[in-house]
Amino acid sequence: MNLGAALGLALALKLVGTLDLPRDLNVDGAPFGGISGADYDSRTGDWLMISDDRSEKAPARFFVGRLDYDAGGVKRLRLTRQVPLRRADDATFSAAQGERPDAEALRIDPRTGDLVWATEGDAPRGFDPAVRRMGRDGTARGTIPTPPAFRFTPTGARPNLTFEGLSFSPDGRWLWLAMEAPLVRDGPVSTVAQGGLTRMTRLDREGRISAQYAYRLDPIQAAPTRRGDNGVSEILAVDDRQLLVLERSGVEDRQGRFTYHCRLYLVDARSGEDVVTRASLSEGAAPRVMAKRLLVNFDRLPGAGANLEAMAWGRDLAGRRTLVLFSDDNFNPTEAARVMVFSVR
């Protein structure tokens, strides 16, 4: 398929501004940080931001706040409360026992107003990746079934490289689920020389697979001295067929410090083949992957290097949609806790 035809929707993004948040923010006794998923509630004006803290600094939680920005830039983020996530038995999560969730995505269900969140699982303690529903008060409201192939098995998901992106279609009919990196059966993870193949799945509201597509990741964006990776860090539906895909490379130097290289792509599901019946993407003929077009190379923007992991549509600004991104600072004082706002034409 012709790339231009596949990506028929023209998007142009303009940076409105960035905001680096103060260190040592604390809400109701819980440190603010590790923001890996966010969504905007247009009915209340609140931003909901989930942390990937594995209940080590405080019980697993999301934060609620107001983000103030206008055409002149991003003014401030005012945090109002934190909400602990609840287990099925209504207890909060604990690092001492039971599951230590690794929350990586949070979405507001456009039909019910409830929340849906994804955890990458806790392989050492026997908990697979999962997508769960919860109320605004953090109470558990069940699990959305996900493909069995995404469990921790010898040929399935790799620990810490699983459910990284979630997005409802605008009408709430579909829920898109993105794997950060390839399944073991689908071939190697990205290297400096070549990008891996991961899967993006469209589920209905009951968790049944409607379609599944192969996505070609970029190679790692710089040669690491020690460790390096590249994968999907978030997705966001544009309409019923197109997605924004945020990719992130993390590259570690000799001192153990990471630098990050992020890119934002527009992809079209219609340009890829449905691979749901393919047991492996690395065997047989190469799959037709979804076409993607680069929208933003964050290395070329002021303040490059943030570990961008959360992305959502914000309120309109001067008649235009806004796109808001948050970085995960990993609770590390050398990494940026940053908010970036773009206007979209």
Q: What is the CATH number of the domain that holds 291?
A: 2.115.10
pLDDT digits over 293-340, tens only? 999 999 999 888 999 999 999 999 989 999 999 999 999 999 999 999
What's the whole-number mean pLDDT along residues 223-234?
Answer: 93
Residue 271 has pLDDT above 70, yes or no: yes
- Map tokens 């050398």 to a residue: 334
Residue 44 has pLDDT above 70, yes or no: yes
The total number of structural domains in the chain stands at 1
Q: Which residue range(s) make up the domain with 254?
A: 3-344
Please give the Cα distance from 45 to 317 (Å, whole number): 13
pLDDT digits over 19-42, tens only? 999 988 999 999 999 999 999 999
CA distance to 6, 69, 81, per residue, from 59 (Å): 44, 30, 14
Contact 220, 191 (CB under 8 A): yes
Could you count the other beta carbons within 10 Å of the beta carbon of residue 278? 18
Mean residue pLDDT of the chain comes to 95
Maximal C-alpha separation, the chain: 54
- Map tokens 């905007």 to a residue: 40
What's the whole-number mean pLDDT along residues 222-251?
Answer: 95
Question: For the chain, first and last CA: distance in Å?
Answer: 25
Contact 72, 52 (CB under 8 A): no
Given this model, what pLDDT does residue 2 score?
37
What's the whole-number mean pLDDT along residues 95-108?
Answer: 98
- Map tokens 């107003």 to a residue: 113
CA distance to 34, 102, 225, 255, per residue, from 251 (Å): 18, 21, 8, 11
Q: Is the dihedral of CA 121, 80, 13, 243 positive or negative?
A: positive
Given this model, what pLDDT does residue 308 score?
98
Given this model, what pLDDT does residue 302 score?
86
Closest-CA residue to 282 (of 187, 160, 151, 174): 187
Given this model, what pLDDT does residue 31 score?
97
Three-state secondary structure call for residue 149: helix
Length of the chain in terms of residues written: 345
Supply the DSSP string of 164-201, one letter for each residue. Answer: EEEEE-TTSS-EEEEESS--GGG-PPP-SS---EEEEE
Residue 208 has pLDDT above 80, yes or no: yes
Supply the DSSP string of 88-105, one letter for each residue. Answer: TTSPBP-SSSS----EEE
DSSP state of 28: T
Please give the Cα distance from 238 to 106 (Å, whole number): 17
Contact 333, 31 (CB under 8 A): no
Q: How far is CA 10 from the centre of its chain?
A: 23
By percentage, how much of the chain surpasses pLDDT 70? 97
